[in-house]
Structure 1
Amino acid sequence: MSEPKRVHPISMFIDFISDAVSMIKNFIIPFFVLIFVNSNSSIRFYAFIILGVLLLWKAVSTVLAWRRFTYRMEDDEFRVESGVITKKKKYISLERIQTVNTSEGIFQRIFGLVRVQIETAGGTDGPEVSLTAITKAEAEQLKQSIFNRKKSLQQEEMNDENLDIPDPLTAQQPVEKEISVSYRMGIPELLLAATTSSGIGVIISGCLAIYTQIDEILPLDGFLKRFSFLSHASVEIYAILIFIAVLIAWILSVGVTALQYANFNAKRKGKDIIITRGLIERHQMTIPLARIQAVKIKENILREPFGFATVMLVSAGGSITEKETSSVLFPLIRKKKINELLTQFTDQYQLAPESELKKVPKRSLKRYLISYGFVPLLVGIILSVRFPPWGYLALIPLPFALFFGYLAYKQSGYVIKDQLIQLTTRGIGKTTGIVLRKRMQNYTMTQSYFQKKGRVASIHTFVKSSALLDSFGVHHLEEEDAARVCDWYSYETNQST
C-alpha cells in the first residue's frame, strides 16, 4: 500500500454535515435569538447572510480538505498528508499503533463503507487518524497489513535479542493453541438491559441543563402563565405530573440503551477481544489482551436483586473522548456465569465469591451510616426549619441514605488471590474491581484522625484507563488488613519472599 489513497467522496458530505451540526450547536442560542426572537427585520437579514457565508465556507473547505487528504503505508509507517492552507504530514510508526477500530454511521451503511479510527499508545484527545469513509475490503486489508507487519517487526526484534542465546527448550515447547470464543446478546437480554439501565438520570439532568440555558435567554413568562393554574393544584396532580415526567425519561433511556447495545457481539480471536455493537451506527473495537488493566463489574439497584451485572474492561491507551460503553464486555449477564465467560475471554481474571471477601469490621458501621446520612440529615433539618410544613418532605431521603450506607458496610471488602486483588464497594450501585498486581499504578492507604482512633483505614489503587486513571478502593477497612494489602503490593516484600 505504497500509493497514496483518498477516502471515498461521500466523506465530503459526511464531514460537512458533522461540522455544520457542530457549528450550529455552538452558535444555536445567539442565532435563535437573532432570527426568531429579535423583531428587527434588518438584523434577521444580516444573521441569515452570516449563517449562509459560514456554511458556504465550510462546504468549500471540506472539498479542499478531501482533495488534500491522502494516506498510505510505507517504510513501516502509516503516513497521512492533509491541510487546506498549511500542508501537514503525519508519520506513525506501526509499532505505536494499538488498535484499528471501525464504525458504520447511517451514510456509511447506505454506501457499504466504514469509518476507520487508528489509535496509538499515549493518544489523548481522540484517535490519531480517522478515515471517514473507505470500503470494508480496504478497511480489512488495512487492518491486516498493519498488524501483520507489526507482528513481523516484533518477531524480528525477539529473534535479534535471542540470536546470541540459543534456547534448546524453545523447539520443544508446543505451539499455543489460538482461542476463539464468542458471546452474543439476544433480544430478551437487550430488552432487560434497556429497561434496567441507569440512563434515566442522564436524561433528566440533560433536560434540566437545557431548561436552565433556555430560561436565561428566552422569555418564558408567557408560556409559564398558561400553566399558572397548576399553582393551585392538589398534591395528587403534582404526583401524577412527576410520574409522567419520570416515565417519559425512562422510556427515552430505554430507547437510547437499546440503540447502543443492539446487535451486541463480543468475541475473542487469539490475543484480541473484538466488540461489535449498535443499531443505527455500528461500532467495532478491538482490545488486545495485553492492554487490559482491570475488570470492573457493576450492579445497579435494579439489576442487583435479580442477580444481573455489567462487566467492563478497563484498558490502557485510547483517548479521553471515548465513552464508557466502548469498554463494555458483557452489558447484562448473570453473576453466576461471569467466571465461566471471563476465564475464556481474559485468561487471568476471575471473580471470587462474596463469601471469600475480607469485610470491614463491625465498628465501621457507624462510620458508613454517618458518611451516607450526614448530608441528607443536614439538608432535611435546614429545609424543615425554614419551610414548614413542606420542608419536612426533605427528610424522606434520610432513611434511604441510611439503608444504602448499611448495604455499603455489609458488602465492602477485599480478597487477594495470588497476583489478583478484588475490591468491592458501593455508592448507590455496587462496584467490584479485579486488578492484577503488575497493573496497579500505585497503592494508597489513608487514615484520618478519627479513623486512626478507630484503628481503621481506607485503601485505593489506580490503573490506566484511556488517557486517565481509574480507581478502586474500600473505606474503613481494618488497619491490619490495609497493611496486609500494602505488604502484598510492596516490591521489597515480594522480592524478599
Structure 2
Amino acid sequence: MICKPRRLSPAAILFFFYKDIKNLFIPVVIFAFATFKQARFWTIIGLVAVFILVIVGDLVKYMTFSYQFFNREILVRKGIFVKKVNHIPYDRIQNVTVNQWFFLKPFKLEELEIETAGHSEGPEVSLVAVSVTLKEELNNYRKQFKATVTTGEEEDDAEVSNSQSYAITWRELIKFSVTSPAFLSGLLVVLAIYGKAQHSISKQMYVAMAKEFSHLGWIVVVVGMSLIILIFYLISVFALIARYYHFNLRMENNQFEMQYGLFKTKKTSISQNRIQAVVVKQTLLRRLLHIASVKLVIISNSQKENTEKDIIVMPVIETAKLQPFMRKFFPSIPVNNCQTITANVGTYYYDLRNAIIFSLLTDLLIGLFIFRISFILNISVVILSAIFWITPAYLNARRAAVTVMDDKYVFLQNNYLTSKNSYYVPKNSIQLLERRQSIWLSQKRFAHLRLSCRSGIGERNLKVKYLPQSQIDSVIVWYKKDSKFR
C-alpha cells in the first residue's frame, strides 16, 4: 500500500515563523539596540527586511516539504536548492511524540515527532500541523509491516496486547505540585536578569530606592519579598498542574503511551527496548508525604525538555501503590526480591568523617574574614556549614545500597542532595561496571562502584560509595556470569 505525497497544513507556516523568530530574537534585539540611535531609518529597514526574508523562507519551506507512506517506510522530502530525502523504516521508529496546543484542538491538528535508533540531536522528523489521525495511521502501517516480516511476532503481540492503564488522582497531583521546588528556578532567572541589568541602573536611582526602603521599614520589605516568593510559588504550582493535567499512562504491545497537559496536550510513545533503567525518585518532603515519581532512563535523540534528563512515566504515585504499579507495568522486574539493606556502620563513618572535615574547612575559610565581626555570626556559620555538609552525608550513608535481584536485574540506590533515587537496571543495559578502591579502603574491605548505561544521547553514571567489598564483588560476579569475558 502506497499513499500519495502529502503536504502539511497551512498552519505549519505559523509554526515555522514562530521557531525562526524565536531563534533570531536575541541577535535582532542586539542589532536594534546597537544601531537604532545612530541610524534609525536603516535599523527599521533592516528589521523589515529580516521579517520579509523569514516569511518568504517559511513559505518556501512549506511548499517544498512533503511526506509519504510506503509499505516499509515513511519518506520525507524537503529543500529547494539542496533537496533532502529522509527514509525512515518502520522497524527503526522508537519514540513517537505528539504535541497539541489548545489553539490547535478546534482544527484537529497537532505536531508529530518521530525518533529512530539513530544518534542525531533531535527527532529525525517533525511533522508540524498534521491531522490528529496521522499517528494512528502511522501505527497501522507499522503493524502491517510487522505482520509481513514474521508470523511469529503476531503471536507475541497477542500475548502482550492486554493493555494496562493508570491515571494519577487529583490528590496525588496537588501533593506533587505543592512540594516542587520549581519556583526557585524562576527566582534565579529574575536574579540573573537583574544581575545583567544592574549596570544600566544609575547610582542616583540606587540612592532613591534606598531612601524609599528606609521610609518603608524592614518589615514592609520582608513582607514584600515574601509576597514575591509566594507569587512565584503559586505560579509554579499552577504550571505543574497544567503540565501534568489528566496524566494517563497506557501500555500496549511493548509501547508506553503517555498523555497529559491542559494548554498543550502531549502524547508520547516509547518503545520498551529503549528503556535502560527504571528510577523511583523521592525528595525528602515527598518521602514524608508518602509519594514518589517513576522515571525512565532511555536512549533518546532529543535534547529538548525532559529528554535531556529522564522521561517521567509517572510524575507522582503514592508509595503504597508503588509495588503494584511496578508489577503491572514492569512485570520483568522482580520487585518482591528487593530486600531492604541496612546501611553498614563503616559507610556512616566514612561519609560523616568527610563531611565533618569539609565543614571544618568551610568554618576556617569563612572565619578568617568574619571572626572579628560578630560572635553570633561565627556561631551561625558553624551551624549552617554543619547542616550543609553533614545532612547530605548522613543521607548518602543511609541510602547507599546495591544488590542483585535476579539473573537479569540489579538494584542500586543512592542519594543526591536530599533526593532518594532507586534504580532497577537490567544486565543488558549496563555498558560498564567499575569497582574503585584505594589502598586504605582495601585494608578495611570497603570500595566504590560505578555503573554506566546509556541515557539520552550520552551516558548515565550511577555511583555508590563506601560499601562493603562483599556487596560490590557480588555484583561484579553477577555481571560476569554468562558474559563474554567469563
If the length of structure 1 is used for normalisation, what is the TM-score? 0.86
How many residue pairs get matched?
A: 476
1:420 to 2:402 alignment: no
Give the aligned partner of residue 259 of structure 1. 242
Report the Cα distance in structure 1 between the residues aligned to 2:232 and 2:31, rounded to whole angstroms: 28
Q: Secondary structure at the match of 2:99?
A: strand
Percentage of pairs with the same residue: 22
Give the aligned partner of residue 341 of structure 1. 325
1:397 to 2:384 alignment: yes
Give the aligned partner of residue 470 of structure 1. 460
Give runs of aligned pairs for residues 264-283 of structure 1, distance below 5 A.
Answer: 264-283=247-266
The 1:84/1:376 distance shift into structure 2, 3 A limit, reads farther
Report the Cα distance in structure 1 between the residues aligned to 2:24 and 2:383, rounded to whole angstroms: 44
Give runs of aligned pairs for residues 124-273 of structure 1, distance below 5 A.
Answer: 124-145=120-141, 147-155=142-150, 176=159, 178-215=161-198, 218-219=200-201, 221-229=203-211, 230=213, 240=223, 242-273=225-256
Q: CA deviation at 1:245?
A: 4.1
Conserved 8 A contact 1:359-1:477: no
Report the Cα distance in structure 2 between the residues aligned to 1:220 and 1:299, rounded to whole angstroms: 46
Match for 1:484 among 455, 474, 484? Answer: 474
The 1:124/1:245 distance shift into structure 2, 3 A limit, reads farther
Give the aligned partner of residue 166 of structure 1. none
Report the Cα distance in structure 1 between the residues aligned to 2:42 and 2:363, rounded to whole angstroms: 53
Q: CA deviation at 1:363?
A: 1.8
Unaligned runs of 5+ in 1: 160-169
Report the Cα distance in structure 1 between the residues aligned to 2:56 and 2:94, rounded to whole angstroms: 34
Report the Cα distance in structure 1 between the residues aligned to 2:256 and 2:196, rounded to whole angstroms: 42
Q: CA deviation at 1:431?
A: 0.8
The 1:264/1:468 distance shift into structure 2, 3 A limit, reads same
Report the Cα distance in structure 1 between the residues aligned to 2:159 and 2:60, rounded to whole angstroms: 50
- Amino acid of the residue matched to residue 181 of structure 2? S
The 1:113/1:184 distance shift into structure 2, 3 A limit, reads same
Give the aligned partner of residue 278 of structure 2. 295
Cα deviation code 1:259-298 (max 9, x no counterpart):
2211211111232110011111111111122222211011
The 1:34/1:342 distance shift into structure 2, 3 A limit, reads farther
- Amino acid of the residue matched to residue 482 of structure 1? I
Report the Cα distance in structure 2 between the residues aligned to 1:456 and 1:123, rounded to whole angstroms: 38
Unaligned runs of 5+ in 2: none
Q: Secondary structure at the match of 2:177?
A: helix
Conserved 8 A contact 1:116-1:130: yes
Cα deviation code 1:328-355 (max 9, x no counterpart):
121111122111011111221244588x
Conserved 8 A contact 1:103-1:115: yes
Cα deviation code 1:127-146 (max 9, x no counterpart):
0000011111233212322x
Q: CA deviation at 1:396?
A: 4.0
Give runs of aligned pairs for residues 31-70 of structure 1, distance below 5 A.
Answer: 31-32=32-33, 40=37, 42-70=38-66
Moved more, 258-267 or 390-399: 390-399
Conserved 8 A contact 1:299-1:310: yes
The 1:238/1:351 distance shift into structure 2, 3 A limit, reads farther
Give runs of aligned pairs for residues 344-355 of structure 1, distance below 5 A.
Answer: 344-351=328-335
Conserved 8 A contact 1:314-1:327: yes
Conserved 8 A contact 2:279-2:294: yes
Match for 1:439 among 426, 429, 435? Answer: 429
1:90 to 2:73 alignment: no
- Amino acid of the residue matched to residue 383 of structure 1? I
Report the Cα distance in structure 1 between the residues aligned to 2:145 and 2:381, rounded to whole angstroms: 61
Report the Cα distance in structure 2 between the residues aligned to 1:59 and 1:202, rounded to whole angstroms: 35
Report the Cα distance in structure 1 between the residues aligned to 2:204 and 2:164, rounded to whole angstroms: 61
The 1:309/1:371 distance shift into structure 2, 3 A limit, reads farther
The 1:492/1:112 distance shift into structure 2, 3 A limit, reads closer
Cα deviation code 1:438-477 (max 9, x no counterpart):
2211111112354334431111212222212223221111
Q: Secondary structure at the match of 2:267?
A: strand
Cα deviation code 1:177-225 (max 9, x no counterpart):
5221211123222222111113133223322333333345x33545433
If the length of structure 2 is used for normalisation, what is the TM-score? 0.88
The 1:448/1:25 distance shift into structure 2, 3 A limit, reads farther
Report the Cα distance in structure 2 between the residues aligned to 1:232 and 1:330, rounded to whole angstroms: 51
Conserved 8 A contact 1:260-1:279: yes
Give the aligned partner of residue 20 of structure 1. 21
